[in-house]
Amino acid sequence: MRTTRVPATRPSLVSRRSLSRRPSAGRWFSEIGWRHLVGVLAVAYAGFPLVYVVSASLADGGTLTGSNDLFASVSGANYAALGGTRFWTWMGNTLVVAVATGVGTVLMGAAAAYAFSRFRFSGRRMGLTALLVIQMFPQMLAFVAIFLLLISLGNVVPGLGLDSKLSLICVYLGGALGVNTFLMYGFFNTVPREIDEAAKIDGASHAQIYWTIVLRLTAPILAVVGLLSFISTFGEFIIARVLLQSEESWTLAVGLYGWVSSLQEANWGLFTAGAVVSAVPVLALFLFLQKYIVGGLTAGSVKG
C-alpha cells in the first residue's frame, strides 16, 4: 500500500518578496510618516484654541488669564447666566437673518446661473464680467452709503429703515450674486443640455426643467453656497453693528462684542460660553449638509 508524501508548506515567493521589501523605519518616515506628524501638529494647532475657549467658558473667574490652567475649575455658571441676558434673543435674530440670507442667496444665485448657462441673450458676457468686477470690492466699503440710504428709506417705509432685521437681510442679499453666481454657473455647465432637450420633447417648460431637473442635479453646489452664505452671515459684524441700533435687534456677533468691548467691565466667561453655544447651529448645519455635498457629487453627476 502506497503512502503519498505531502510536501511541507513553504512561504510563497510573493510573501518572501513582500517581507523583504518592507521599508525600514527611516524610509517609512521620510515617505509617509512625516505626513502623519504634520497632520497631528495641524490638528493640535487648530484644536488648542477650541479647547481653551471651552475651558474658559467653564471657569468661574470670568477672565481669560484665570483659564491658563485648562479645566482647573469646571462649572456651568456661565452657561446658566446666559438665560438672564439677551443672548437667546440675539440667537433668534441671527438665525432668522442667516437662514433668510442663505435661502435667498441660493435662490437668486441659482436663477442667475441658470439664465447665464442656458440662455443666449445680448449683454450676457458683459453681465458676467460686471458681476466679477463688482465682487472685487468688499460690501463693507459701501456701509456709509447703505447707512444714509436706509435713513432716507426708513422715512418712507419704516420696516426697511435702520434697526430692522428685514433691511439687514436686504443688504446681505444685495451682495448675494457675483462669486456665488460664478460657482453655480460653472457647475450648471456640467449638466448636459441633452437633458433639457429631452424634457422639452416630453412637454416640460423651462420652469419645470429648472425646478425638477436642474436643481436636483446641482444639489452639491446649492448646499455649498447655502452653507457658505449661512456661515458668513452668522458671524458678520461690521454692517450689522452699523445698521442695528437697539439691543433687541442685535445679532450674536454684535451682542457678544458688547460684553467684552469695555476692558474694565469685560465678562469673558459669558463671552466664551456664548461663543461655544453659538457654534452649535453652524456645526449642526455643516453635518447635515455634508451628506448632500459628498453623496450628491456621485448621485447627482451625469456623464455628458
Please calculate the CA angle 172-174-177 and round it to the nearest 5 degrees: 105
Query: Does residue 19 form part of some domain?
Result: no
- 65 and 137 belong to one structural domain: no
> What pLDDT is recorded for position 188?
87
Looking at the domain assignment, is residue 69 inside a domain? yes
Does the residue 6 lie in any domain?
no
Is 198 inside any structural domain?
A: yes
Tell me, yes or no, whether 7 lies in a domain: no
Q: Distance (Å, rounded) from C-alpha 91 to C-alpha 297?
A: 33
Overall number of domains in the chain: 2
Arithmetic mean of pLDDT, 278-303: 71
Assess whether 106 and 197 both reside in one domain.
yes
Phi/psi at 147 (nearest 5 deg)?
-60, -50
User: Are 52 and 196 in a shared domain?
Assistant: no
Residue 87 pLDDT > 90: yes
Write down the pTM of the prediction: 0.80
**What CATH number is given to the structural domain containing 216?**
1.10.3720.10
Q: Are 252 and 90 in contact (CB under 8 A)?
A: yes
Same domain, 145 and 40: no
Higher-pLDDT residue of 132 and 51 is 51
Residue 65 shares a structural domain with residue 190: no
Overall average pLDDT of the 46-65 stretch: 81
Domain limits at 47?
A: 25-75
Same structural domain, 29 and 97? no
Is a pLDDT exceeding 70 seen at residue 146?
Answer: yes
* Judgement on whether residues 47 and 92 belong to the same structural domain of the protein: no
Are 259 and 235 in a shared domain? yes
Q: Are residues 156 and 293 in the same domain?
A: yes
- Degrees to nearest 5, angle at CA 285 with 89 and 49: 80
Q: Is residue 45 pLDDT above 50, yes or no? A: yes
Q: Is 199 within a domain? A: yes
Residue 122 DSSP code: T
**One-letter amino acid of 46:** A
The yes-or-no verdict on residue 145 having pLDDT over 50 is yes
The mean pLDDT of 128-143, rounded to a whole number, is 79
Model confidence at 21, in pLDDT bands (50, 70, 90)?
low
Last residue of a domain, one of 16, 49, 75: 75
pLDDT above 50: residue 187: yes
Note whether 50 and 126 are same-domain residues. no
